Amino acid sequence: MLILDFDGVIADAFTECALVTYYADHDPDTVADKPIDELVAALPAGFLARFRTVRGYARLLGDFMAARETAAESIRGVEDYDRLLTGIPPTKSAGLVRGATAVRSALRARQKDAWLDMHTVYPGVDRLLRRHQGRGTSIVTAKDAASVWEILAHHQLENTVVQVVGECSDKRAAVREIALSDGLPSSAVTFIDDHITNALAVRDTGATSLWAWWGYHTPDHVEQAISRRQRRVYLPELTTLTA
């Protein structure tokens, strides 16, 4: 059984994630009234630089909000990032997540084609999914399930996946539940994620957990992967990977 993360494994949505993060405190309808190209062009270079740093550490939509803080310019490691993220008041973070989700929904509804075009499938992933079609492939992601299904359909991949577990913050539990629902042990699962925390957590279930090298990481994550002997997987390997 194959279970995949979405952002950073199946598709690259860096610009879309940066966009909804930056406009999280704006009125969704006002944002969606402007062409996406115009919205992207208006993103400040400083914010994009901070977001690129934060993207390597983030697992959830709320984690992206650290990029809105100018202090993100000083992030040099996971401790700096964690300190900055936990320093954001929970009510503020929750409000920004709601705002970012609303902006995403508005853009998806009113500029669907342009919004979908911001999600590009990594080379070879489409062939991996098609090769496993009919074998119970699932997606477990922090992204909302409706968005994922629409992006898959845009790339004609919706029939390669049987389910999407969206807005997931506990991938270890999700993987166990998916395997159990099919009457399989976790050891029957091959899981791929680009965030080392998720890869290690799912590995503890007994699943074959692979750390996607083509996604987003940080030097801290590389060190952690080495110290924990976490197996990597590279894009060229997908041509022969079977789960």
pLDDT in tens, the chain (243 residues): 999 999 999 999 999 999 999 999 999 999 999 999 999 999 999 999 999 999 999 989 999 999 999 999 999 999 999 999 999 999 999 999 999 999 999 999 999 999 999 999 999 999 999 999 999 999 999 999 999 999 999 999 999 999 999 999 999 999 999 999 999 999 999 999 999 999 999 999 999 999 999 999 999 999 999 999 999 999 999 999 998
pTM: 0.92
* pLDDT at 123 (0 to 100): 96
- What is the number of other CB atoms lying within 10 angstroms of the CB of residue 139? 25
* pLDDT at 68 (0 to 100): 97
| φ/ψ (deg, to 5) at 120 | -110, 135
DSSP the chain: -EEE-SBTTTEE-HHHHHHHHHTTTS-HHHHHTS-HHHHHHTS-HHHHHHHHHHHTT--SHHHHGGGGSGGGGG--SHHHHHHHHHTS-HHHHHHHHHHHHHHHHHHHHHSHHHHHTT-EEPTTHHHHHHHTTTS--EEE-SS-HHHHHHHHHHTT-GGG-SEEE-S-S-HHHHHHHHHHHTT--GGG-EEEESSHHHHHHHHTTT-EEEEETTS---HHHHHHHHHTTPPEE-GGGGGT---
* pLDDT at 149 (0 to 100): 97
* pLDDT at 53 (0 to 100): 96
* pLDDT at 189 (0 to 100): 97
Contact 118, 42 (CB under 8 A): no
Sequence-distant (≥ 6) Cβ neighbours of residue 193 within 8 angstroms: 4, 5, 8, 9, 171, 199, 202, 209, 210, 211, 212, 215
CA distance 105 to 116: 12
- What is the number of other CB atoms lying within 10 angstroms of the CB of residue 120? 13
* pLDDT at 13 (0 to 100): 94
* pLDDT at 75 (0 to 100): 96
Could you state, in order of their start, the residue ranges of all structural domains in the chain?
2-11+120-239, 14-116
| φ/ψ (deg, to 5) at 7 | -65, 125
CA distance 66 to 53: 10
CATH topology of domain 2-11+120-239: Rossmann fold (3.40.50)
